[in-house]
Amino acid sequence: MRQDIKPAESWYEATVSREGYEPLRRSIEAEVCVVGGGFAGLVTALECQRRGLRTVLLEGSRVACGASGRNGGFVSSGFALGVEGILSKVGREAAKELYALSRSGTDYVRDTINAHDPSLLNGRGMRVALRHRDTGGLKSYTEMMSRDFGEPLHYSGVEETRLHLVSTRYFESLVSENAFHIHPLAYGLLLARLAVQAGVTIHENTLVNSSTREGTGFVVATDGGQVHARHVVHCVSSLSPHVHRPSGRAMLPVATYVAVTNPLQQNVIRTSAAIADTRRAGDYYRLVNDGRLLWGGRITTRISEPSRLAALMRGDMMAVYPGLGAPRIDYAWAGLMGYAIHKMPLIGRDAEGQWFATAFGGHGVNTTAMAGLLVARGLAGEDDAWRRFTPFAPRWAFGQLGRLGVQGSYWWMQAQDRWEEAKSA
C-alpha cells in the first residue's frame, strides 16, 4: 500500500519553524483587543499598534493555524464575489472604489514581503483558464477590467494556453501579471513577528469565550484571564460564531482541500505562475520551490476531512494532466473558510461598538490586509473608509438550513460546469 499522507501536517507547517507565544493567565488592560490570530487579526493588531494604540491579540490555538496558514497562497485583487456581482449591488463608482481597496490589500502583502522577507514569494502571475470554449465573454471581461478597474489582463487563445498548460481540458485563458503566490503560513508568522516588534502582545492557546460591554469599554474573557479594552475587534472567521453573535450568525463555514505531491520531474505545467480554472468549485494549483505541485480544489459545507483525500486530489490532478502519471501525495489537508451570504467581507462596527473584520471567503489573502488597514484607520480616527462595506452588512445566514442551501447550490453549479465542459469536448 502506498504511504501517502503525513497526517495533520500541511506542507506549510513542515517548512517553517514557529515561535511560541505564552497563553493569557491573568487580567490585563489594553486599548485594543483583537480576537483571532489569522491574517485579519494579525494585520489589524499590527496596524493598530503602528498607530500608537496599545494592542493585545488573543489566538485560540496557534497564530495562522486556520485558513490563513493552510490556503492556496494566491494573492490577487478582488473579492470572493466577482466584479459583476459587486457592480449589480452598488453600481460602477462604488464598485471601482471597492476594487481599489482590494488592490491596496494586494499591495500591502507585496510590500510587506518585499520589505521583510522576499523569500516568501513563490512565483509571479496568475493564469485563469476556461474548461470550455469561450463564447466571447473573456475578451469583453478583459476590456472591462482594464478600462473600469485598472486591472491589466492578458488574453491567451487556446493554442497559447496549451503551450503553458499542456492539457486538452483547457481552452482560452487570462493572465494577471499583478498577481503572485506566496508561502502563506510564513507570511502569517512574519506578520506576528512584525506585530510583536511593533509592541503588540500576542497570547496563543487562549480561546476567547465572550466579549461584553463594561463601562466605556469591553471585557474579553478567556479560561485563564481577561482583557479590559477600550475596543475589541473580532477576527475569528466562521470558527467561533458565539463570541460575536452579529457577525457569527452571518457566517457559513465552507471547506476546501489542498494536496502537495513529492518533487516532480514533469513537462506539462510550463509556468511558474499560479493557475486556476473558472469553474464554481474549480482547481487552483501552482508549482512550489522544490518542484512539488501544490493542488487545491473542491468545496463543500460538509466539514469533515475525507479519509480518501489524497486519492481524491490525485484523481483531480490526473484528470487534467494524465501526463503526470500518478504522483505521490506527501501532504493533504482541509481548511475552513467563512462566507457571508453575499460573499463579501463583513467589516464594520455593531450597535454596541464592537468591531468585526471577517468572512473573507476564498479570496482572503489580499482582503484581510485591506480590512486590517481599514479597521486600524477607523479606530485611530484617521478616516471612515470602512463604511464602504456598509452595503454588505451582516445578515443571518440561516444556520444549518443555510449550509444545506449552499451545499445544494454548489451541486447545482458543479452540474452546470460539467454540462458546459461536455459541450466543448
Ligand X SMILES: Cc1cc2nc3c(=O)[nH]c(=O)nc-3n(C[C@H](O)[C@H](O)[C@H](O)COP(=O)(O)OP(=O)(O)OC[C@H]3O[C@@H](n4cnc5c(N)ncnc54)[C@H](O)[C@@H]3O)c2cc1C
Binding stretches for ligand X (CB under 6 A): 35-41, 58-61, 65-68, 70-74, 207-208, 235-237, 239-240, 243, 256, 258, 296, 335-337, 358, 360-365, 368
The distance of closest approach from Cβ of residue 197 to ligand X in the complex, given in angstroms and rounded to an integer, is 20
Q: Hey, what amino acid is at 417?
A: D
Least Å distance, CB 43 to ligand X, is 9
Minimal distance in Å, beta carbon 142 to ligand X?
21
**Nearer residue to ligand X within complex by CB, 87 or 207:** 207
Closer CB to ligand X, residue 275 or residue 337? Answer: 337
- The residue (of 41 and 217) whose beta carbon lies closer to ligand X is 41
Q: Nearer to ligand X by C-beta: 92 or 302?
A: 302
Q: Judged by CB, which is closer to ligand X: 232, or 324?
A: 232
Comparing CB distances to ligand X, the nearer of 67 and 293 is 67
Place of cell 488592560: 29
CB of 140 to ligand X, least distance (A): 25
Taking CA atoms, 324 is separated from 161, 264, 265, 284, 344, in Å, by 18, 8, 9, 16, 37
Least distance CB 395 / ligand X (angstroms):
18
Nearer to ligand X, 160 or 177 (CB): 177
Residue 187: HSE in the Cβ half-sphere, 13 Å Cα cutoff: 32
Shortest reach from residue 72's CB to ligand X, in Å: 3
Kind of pairing between the strands at 284-287 and 274-277: antiparallel
Measured CA to CA, the distance from residue 20 to residue 111 in angstroms comes to 26
The three grid cell numbers given for residue 31, joined into one nine-digit string = 486599548
Q: Give the nearer residue to ligand X in terms of CB position, either 162 or 211.
A: 211
Q: Tell me how far, at minimum, the Cβ of 250 lies from ligand X, in Å.
A: 13
Instruction: Give the nearest distance from C-beta 368 to ligand X in angstroms.
Output: 5
Closest-approach residue to ligand X (CB): 364
Nearer to ligand X, 274 or 320 (CB): 274
Residue 414 burial (C-beta neighbours within 10 Å; 0-12, 13-18, 19+): middle
The distance of closest approach from Cβ of residue 274 to ligand X in the complex, given in angstroms and rounded to an integer, is: 8
Question: Please, which residue, 149 or 339, has the CB nearer to ligand X?
Answer: 339
Whole-number minimum distance, CB 41 to ligand X, in Å?
6
